[in-house]
Amino acid sequence: MESSGYGKEVTVPFRSYVPPLLLLTAIFFLNFLARIVMAPLLPAIEGDLNLGHGEAGSLFLVISLGYFAGLLGSGFVSSHLNHRRTIILSSIAVGVALLAVSFSHTLWGIRLGLTVLGLAAGLYLPSGIATLTAMVSSKHWGKAIAIHELAPNLSFVAAPLLAEGLMIWFPWRGVMALVGGAAVIVGVIFMRFGRGGAFPGEAPSPKTLRVLLVQPSFWVMIVLFSLGIGASLGVYTMLPLYLVVDRGFERSWANTLVAFSRIAGPGAAFVAGWVSDKLGPRRTMIGILLSAGMATMLLGMVNGGWIVPVLFLQPMLAVCFFPAGFAALSMIGPPQVRNVTVSLTVPAAFLLGGGAIPAGIGIMGEEGLFSLGIILVGALIMGGAVLVRYLKFHG
């Protein structure tokens, strides 16, 4: 079955969806890679720009600020441009922003470029999901979304390996320029060959916002998602720098370990989804927050050979939050506000978990307390288990 916009469906085998799905997935991959590729480059960026650890960590905060604004404004943009044009705009603007960063030689210029990068990247996800679900029959959504969600998981693995591989020939600016150029090229390819998305988005209404903002569970979920994103993306962005500066690893070895530690993530998330279906999202989130928080604390505590198994354990536990987290998020309000719930919760959580947490770890590192910063983040994640009991599900 295939749908066009919000219209009728016709019978089509799933394999016919694969080429356009892979093109969308490639755009999402470069969208995500553009936001995290700086993590394995941080040691080189610090040395080149003479930055402190706090200033380096704050670069992820400005990306998250832009991403927050982009996600919030995505509905207004797609309602005027339609989803297809919004996807094209997002991909090309992400590439241009990375290219601008690679040519900038001032910290404020880099910060401005990274803010635009986050803003452009934030436009993609709502339009990408809307295009995917309109293009593919609902009976194939699970398979289609599974293909699409390969992008962030592959990005976590690819970023350190790609950075190390390219830095044999290029400086860090060259690596960012190449990723930016690839994003522009894929955006142009989608403009020429991509399918779907030729219908407008919908902007959130004041009535819908009022329904959500008065619910305490909505605010609890923002905190929980902030901790989940902090455990996964927030810690990831500072790990290479932490391993090099605080634990004495060679940069190439640190990036290799960080890359391979993420390989088990997709399988772990699938198991966590099965557990959530069996035990319910509430109990699953409590268990994951406690275990992921403890593993994060251990990252800051252990030394020597013990850090390698913990380095592999921590991301495998952290990624398990999201199946139960999204299930819980879909239960805190009536069905008609579900998409708005996601579009408001995720950007706020990215701002805190993907921006404030790396910045905080960097500030602690500036004071020679890198390990303590990691330990405190782990303690915060464990504390989130207490908040789960205050969730109230709709119906």
**50-109: per-residue pLDDT in tens?**
877 777 777 878 888 898 888 888 878 888 888 889 999 999 999 999 999 889 888 888
Asked if 141 and 84 sit in the same domain, the reply is: yes
Q: Give the pLDDT mean for 223-228.
A: 92
**Structural domain boundaries, residue 76:** 1-203
> Does residue 179 sit in the same domain as residue 291?
no
Q: Are residues 42 and 189 in the same domain?
A: yes
Q: What is the mean pLDDT of residues 161-187?
A: 89
| Model confidence at 3: pLDDT above 60 | no
The Cα diameter of the chain in Å comes to 62
Determine which of 15-19, 25-29, 217-221 has the lowest per-residue pLDDT on average: 15-19
134 shares a domain with 222: no
Number of structural domains (the chain) is 2
Are residues 199 and 226 both part of a single domain? no
Angle at 162 between CA 311 and CA 232, to 5 degrees: 35
| Same domain (yes/no): 276, 210 | yes
Same domain, 225 and 249: yes
Tell whether 155 and 252 lie within a shared domain. no
Same domain, residue pair 159 and 294: no
Q: Express as a percent the part of the chain with pLDDT over 70.
A: 88
Same domain, 340 and 328: yes
- Evaluate if residue 383 carries a pLDDT over 90: yes
CATH of the domain at 96: 1.20.1250.20
Q: pLDDT higher for 105 or 224?
A: 224
Q: How far apart are CA 256 and CA 37, in angstroms?
A: 13
Tell me 390's DSSP state.
Answer: T
What is the pLDDT, as a whole number, of residue 126?
77
Residue 9: pLDDT band (50, 70, 90) is very low
285 within 8 A of 325, measured Cβ to Cβ = yes
The residue out of 157, 188, 203 marking a domain boundary is: 203
Six-digit token string for 127: 């339009």
Residue 6 reports pLDDT greater than 90: no
Same domain, 291 and 359: yes
pLDDT band of residue 351 (cuts 50, 70, 90) is confident
pLDDT of the residue at 335: 58
Token pair of 388 as six digits: 């789960």
Name which residue leads in pLDDT, 342 or 351. 351
Q: Which of 174, 203, 232 is the last residue of a domain?
A: 203
The alpha carbon of 391 is separated from its chain's Cα centroid by a whole number of angstroms, namely 24
pLDDT band at 2 (very low <50, low <70, confident <90, very high): very low
Are residues 295 and 345 part of one domain?
yes
**Does residue 145 surpass a pLDDT of 80?**
no
User: Burial level of 290, CB count in 10 A (0-12/13-18/19+)?
Assistant: middle
- Domain stops at, among 158, 186, 203: 203
Nearest residue to 177 via CA among 345, 37, 19, 361: 37
Indicate the SS3 state at residue 10. Answer: strand
